[in-house]
Amino acid sequence: MVLQLPPFEPLPPPPDSPKQLLEVPVAQLQPTQLCVGLAEVRHRRADFAGESAKDRRRYLRGKPVPLVRSAAGELWMLDRHHRLSGLIAVDPDATAFGYVVLELDLAVRRDVLEALLHRGWLYLYDARGQGPQSPQRLPTGLHDLQDDPYRSLVWALKQEKLIEAAPLIPFHEFRWGAWLRSRSLPPFSSLRLEPALPAARALVRSRAASQLAGWIG
């Protein structure tokens, strides 16, 4: 069974001109999901730790974050949670580049979250796949995101080119994770994916998965 999230508006793509990008402190960005996959965060962290500041800045400019800005000036990130979680683990004062996809005339956090929920831009399932939780449970910073091992598993399968990226579909990888969670897999964790990978590889290649965006077969 595919995760039953509400209908969603596709995420707008980045602007053509880098002049339209904002440089923002990562610590000020608010998440729109409850979880990340720790395996991917650790991978991102290692990549950033091995880069020079100049190379890191060039890379981040090429991977801008879609943002929603409230009337109070607060920013919610609609993607890049893993990448920026790895970044602030290396540099807590880091900045990243983003582009505003929506300006809201709402200032109260509860109202902003309701507007994002209406667009399908919140992921409100916890690390065990339980939800939807209340939007008020969303943390206000990346440090407090939970670890969902199924999201880690999907990241590993994407690295192996078994699932195609769909960057404009909100929470695309979580949809795959929810589908795998409904199947039978050996016990595994984000730090020990190997027991589940053989079965997961077969599952995501199967016709049963063909209803999911990014299916390759």
Poorest-pLDDT segment among 3-12, 30-39, 52-61: 3-12
Domain CATH for 161: 1.10.8
Domain end, chosen from 103, 120, 147, is at 147
∠45-185-155 over CA atoms, to 5°?
Answer: 25
Domain end, chosen from 104, 123, 147, is at 147
Claim to verify: residue 128 and residue 180 sit in the same structural domain: no
pLDDT at 6: 65
- pLDDT band, very low/low/confident/very high, at 17 (cuts 50, 70, 90): confident
- pLDDT band, very low/low/confident/very high, at 37 (cuts 50, 70, 90): very high
pLDDT at 5 over 70: no
pLDDT at 2: 47
Q: Reduced to 3 states, what is the DSSP secondary structure of residue 45?
A: helix
Domain end, chosen from 98, 120, 147, is at 147
Beta-strand ranges (E) seen in the chain are 22-25, 29-30, 35-36, 65-69, 75-77, 95-103, 146-147
Claim to verify: residue 89 and residue 178 sit in the same structural domain: no
Asked if residue 199 is part of any domain, the answer here is yes
Tell me the mean pLDDT in the region 3-12: 78
Claim to verify: residue 53 and residue 128 sit in the same structural domain: yes
Strand partners, 100: 67
Tell me the mean pLDDT in the region 190-202: 98
Claim to verify: residue 66 and residue 104 sit in the same structural domain: yes
Does the pTM surpass 0.85? The reply is yes
Domains contained in the chain, number: 2
- pLDDT band, very low/low/confident/very high, at 170 (cuts 50, 70, 90): very high
Show the domain range for 97: 21-147
Claim to verify: residue 108 and residue 186 sit in the same structural domain: no
